[in-house]
């Protein structure tokens, strides 16, 4: 887009076209707010950012009672979103937490912690031992492993959801402008300057730049403390005879040397271009030496030592895994307490960042809350756990 065809003013300017920016644009459309401009440096939900890919897990199985309640609220909003979209945006096939049960929280919680919270909040689950897990799924749990199966969890079809948000925003007349990088925010949050020097004034600004948020906020002295973790995931083809038996799973094991111990995987939800069933799996830790503060310094190629650990786990701990066919690195934006930042940080500027490996399931709540903030309201539920003022995110 040339400078002359770019707007000079909008009621709401959103910076960033990933999960947070797009869900906010769609939520503003739902509220009947027009005159919205979304600026994306590359393309919407592109492969170098955090929202890329076909699936994300959703669950209420949290060790943190507050996140468990917020996940319940998000699920209520997902149901509304699906009815508005007229299509199913999630697949409900359950989620198995299994592995070692030690009483310490990981970045995804723990088996004993999740069990306590589900008991307290009356969330249905099945408790399984290693033998029951091995009978039911093509997994090879160690004899001391235990499991929890949450039948109402599943996968958000993130690719479908992104398409739905883009449609909703465009139908409302919002401008979603790609290949347009914001270079600088006005000090008061009242506008943005693009790389080509063009200025867009905004009544309200929403910054949703994922791992790049610090770069825009640092000059204003408002940058939250974030780390960028390069996260490895891959698709593996599987034996067609077992294709309908893979669960959605998360395996908890304590760290051993190089091996961070946390692995996850999805059921077969897609095939390769030549029709072979495939599962998506990943590791859920990043070695300390690969974590960076400067977003553009993150490794972009899959590190061989991590690929080897993922292959070793998949080929040894699951049955029927055949070949790794696609290998990707995507960034986590991490706060030190592994919780997000969603807040109004000046009267005209609201922020979402720090989505870690967890925020997609909260997308309708995140979009709705950012839209409310941009309309001068408060979020519909108490989000003080995501405050930018908490010590964990103060730089």
Ligand X SMILES: Cc1cc2nc3c(=O)[nH]c(=O)nc-3n(C[C@H](O)[C@H](O)[C@H](O)COP(=O)(O)OP(=O)(O)OC[C@H]3O[C@@H](n4cnc5c(N)ncnc54)[C@H](O)[C@@H]3O)c2cc1C
Sites of contact with ligand X (CB under 6 A): 15-21, 39-42, 46, 49-51, 56-57, 181-182, 208-210, 212, 216, 231, 233, 282, 330-332, 352, 355-361
Q: CB neighbours of 249 closer than 8 A, spacing ≥ 6?
A: 95, 96, 97, 98, 137, 139, 264, 265
3-state DSSP helix/strand/coil percent for the chain, to nearest 5? 30, 30, 40
Please, which residue, 11 or 42, has the CB nearer to ligand X?
Answer: 42
Please state the closest distance from residue 340 (CB atom) to ligand X, in A. 8
Please, which residue, 19 or 251, has the CB nearer to ligand X?
Answer: 19
Please state the closest distance from residue 275 (CB atom) to ligand X, in A. 25
Please state the closest distance from residue 284 (CB atom) to ligand X, in A. 8
Please, which residue, 247 or 331, has the CB nearer to ligand X?
Answer: 331
Q: What DSSP character marks residue 295? A: G
Q: Which of 256, 253, 315 is nearest to 281 (CA)?
A: 315
Please state the closest distance from residue 174 (CB atom) to ligand X, in A. 15
Please, which residue, 19 or 345, has the CB nearer to ligand X?
Answer: 19
Q: CA 119, CA 382: separation in Å to the nearest integer?
A: 23
Q: CA 321, CA 312: separation in Å to the nearest integer?
A: 11
Please state the closest distance from residue 356 (CB atom) to ligand X, in A. 6
Please, which residue, 241 or 293, has the CB nearer to ligand X?
Answer: 293
Listed in order, strand segments (DSSP E) in 21-120 are 36-39, 56-58, 90-92, 95-99
β-sheet bridge partners, residue 106: 109
Question: Hey, what are 370's tokens?
Answer: 């950012």
Please, which residue, 23 or 146, has the CB nearer to ligand X?
Answer: 23
Listed in order, strand segments (DSSP E) in the chain are 9-15, 36-39, 56-58, 90-92, 95-99, 126-129, 146-150, 154-156, 175-177, 182-185, 191-194, 199-207, 227-238, 249-252, 263-265, 270-271, 277-283, 321-334, 341-346, 349-353
Q: CA 11, CA 202: separation in Å to the nearest integer?
A: 6
Residue nearest to ligand X (CB): 18
Please state the closest distance from residue 170 (CB atom) to ligand X, in A. 17
Phi and psi dihedrals of 112, rounded to 5? -65, -40
Please, which residue, 107 or 134, has the CB nearer to ligand X?
Answer: 107
Residue 231, classed as helix, strand or coil, is strand
Please, which residue, 30 or 56, has the CB nearer to ligand X?
Answer: 56
Contact 380, 342 (CB under 8 A): no
Q: CA 237, CA 29: separation in Å to the nearest integer?
A: 40
Q: CA 198, CA 370: separation in Å to the nearest integer?
A: 25
Please state the closest distance from residue 240 (CB atom) to ligand X, in A. 25
Please state the closest distance from residue 280 (CB atom) to ligand X, in A. 9
Please, which residue, 348 or 356, has the CB nearer to ligand X?
Answer: 356
Please state the closest distance from residue 48 (CB atom) to ligand X, in A. 7
Please, which residue, 239 or 337, has the CB nearer to ligand X?
Answer: 337
Please state the closest distance from residue 313 (CB atom) to ligand X, in A. 16
Contact 59, 150 (CB under 8 A): yes
């Amino acid at each position: 887009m040339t400078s002359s065809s770019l707007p000079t003013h909008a009621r709401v300017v959103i910076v960033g076209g990933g999960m947070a920016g797009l869900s906010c644009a769609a939520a503003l459309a739902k509220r009947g707010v027009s005159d919205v401009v979304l600026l994306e440096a590359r393309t919407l939900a592109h492969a170098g950012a955090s929202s890329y890919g076909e699936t994300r897990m959703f669950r209420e199985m949290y060790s943190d009672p507050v996140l468990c309640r917020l996940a319940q609220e998000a699920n209520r909003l997902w149901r509304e979103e699906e009815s508005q979209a007229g299509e199913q945006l999630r697949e409900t096939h359950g989620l198995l937490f299994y592995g070692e049960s030690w009483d310490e929280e990981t970045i995804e919680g723990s088996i004993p912690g999740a069990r306590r919270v589900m008991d307290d909040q009356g969330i249905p689950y099945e408790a399984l031992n290693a033998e029951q897990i091995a009978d039911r799924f093509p997994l090879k749990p160690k004899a001391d492993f235990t499991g929890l199966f949450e039948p109402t969890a599943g996968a958000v079809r993130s690719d479908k959801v992104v398409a739905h948000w883009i449609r909703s925003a465009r139908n409302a007349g919002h401008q979603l402008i790609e290949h347009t990088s914001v270079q600088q925010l006005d000090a008061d949050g009242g506008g943005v300057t693009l790389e080509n020097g063009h200025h867009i004034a905004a009544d309200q600004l929403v910054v949703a730049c994922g791992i790049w948020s610090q770069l825009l906020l640092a000059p204003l002295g408002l940058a939250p403390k974030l780390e960028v973790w390069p996260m490895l995931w891959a698709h593996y083809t599987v034996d067609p005879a077992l294709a309908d038996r893979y669960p959605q799973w998360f395996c908890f094991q304590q760290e051993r040397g190089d091996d961070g111990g946390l692995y996850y995987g999805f059921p077969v939800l897609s095939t390769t271009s030549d029709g072979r069933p495939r599962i998506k799996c990943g590791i859920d830790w990043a070695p300390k030496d690969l974590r960076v503060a400067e977003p553009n310094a993150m490794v972009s190629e899959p590190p061989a030592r991590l690929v080897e650990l993922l292959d070793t786990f998949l080929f040894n701990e699951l049955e029927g895994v055949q070949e790794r066919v696609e290998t990707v690195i995507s960034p986590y934006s991490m706060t030190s307490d592994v919780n997000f930042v969603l807040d109004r940080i000046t009267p005209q500027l609201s922020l979402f960042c720090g989505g870690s490996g967890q925020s997609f399931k909260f997308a309708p709540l995140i979009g709705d809350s950012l839209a409310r903030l941009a309309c001068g309201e408060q979020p519909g539920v108490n989000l003080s756990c995501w405050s930018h003022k908490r010590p964990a995110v103060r730089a």
